[in-house]
Amino acid sequence: MNCWRHLSYNRLNTILNEEEVVKDKSLLHEKRSDNGTKTPKKTSKNILPSDEFHLSILGNGSKGNPRALYVWTNGNTYLFNCGDGTQRMANEHKHKLSKLENVFITRRCVENMSGLIGLALTCQDIGVSHNGLTLHGPLDTDCLINRYHDISAEVKIQTNSYIDYNFEDTDLVVKCVPIYPSVAVENSVKTSKTLSKDPNDISFVYICKLKDRP
């Protein structure tokens, strides 16, 4: 009888121990599955707009200097005009091009765009973006780039050309204001002025505003 009780007691302990082991294994499996499916939460740093805005004049278009304005926040970089020598001036001022994705052109001319092809190739080499640079400017801004067929075929540049165009990303809102040229003509008989507009020659004024933080 005592032997039977002893065997029953040992059997009961064995069953309890097996149940605890199974329970521990199921908890471990749940932990592993949670770890496998859980995605990291986005921090407020990735959502909130930048609280800093900086600009640097790389060149004012004088002799030997490009026409270029370099603007950056904590997370993004922008370039306004890209004359010949823009990369050189950016390196001298220790401005990195690793985050540059958007270039804004104020007027379609060689003085504002002659450094664009070289800049785009550099950005592709350092892997800035798979889609390349995005060019913003007046209508037919990409016509000047298409003249360099042999080189531009290897360059990835997306073009947004509109008369009235607004740009917005995580940090900045850019409003484009078109300006049309006017020509004053004086009459020899009676002094008068006649204004004429050429729709193909448009300049853009860019109004930039940093997004408000909540």
**How many Cα neighbours within 13 Å face the side chain of 134?**
15
CB 196 within 8 A of CB 183: yes
Query: How do residues 170-213 score in pLDDT, each as one tens digit?
Result: 899 999 888 887 765 555 555 555 555 565 678 899 999 988 88
What separation in angstroms does the CA of 121 have from each of 23, 96, 152?
60, 15, 9
Beta-strand runs (E) in the chain = 54-60, 67-72, 77-80, 100-104, 133-137, 157-161, 166-168, 172-179, 203-210
Domain ranges (residues) in the chain: 49-210
Q: Classify domain 49-210 by CATH architecture.
A: 4-Layer Sandwich (3.60)
pLDDT at residue 150, rounded to an integer:
59
Give the integer Cα–Cα distance in Å for 84 and 66: 5
**Most confident of the following: 78-82, 95-99, 163-167:** 78-82
Give the integer Cα–Cα distance in Å for 201 and 180: 7
CB 180 within 8 A of CB 186: no
- Give 22's pLDDT tier (boundaries 50, 70, 90): very low
Give the integer Cα–Cα distance in Å for 163 and 202: 8
Alpha-carbon radius of gyration of the chain: 32
Query: How do residues 81-140 score in pLDDT, each as one tens digit?
Result: 999 999 999 999 888 887 888 999 999 888 999 888 888 888 877 766 556 788 898 877
Greater confidence, 45 or 62? 62
CB 44 within 8 A of CB 51: no
**15 token code pair:** 């069953």
**166 token code pair:** 């607004």
Helix (H, G, I), strand (E, B) or coil at 213: coil
**81 token code pair:** 């005009």
Angle at 59 between CA 53 and CA 60, to 5 degrees: 100
Rounding to the nearest 10 degrees, give the CA dihedral for residues 36, 38, 44, 46. 40
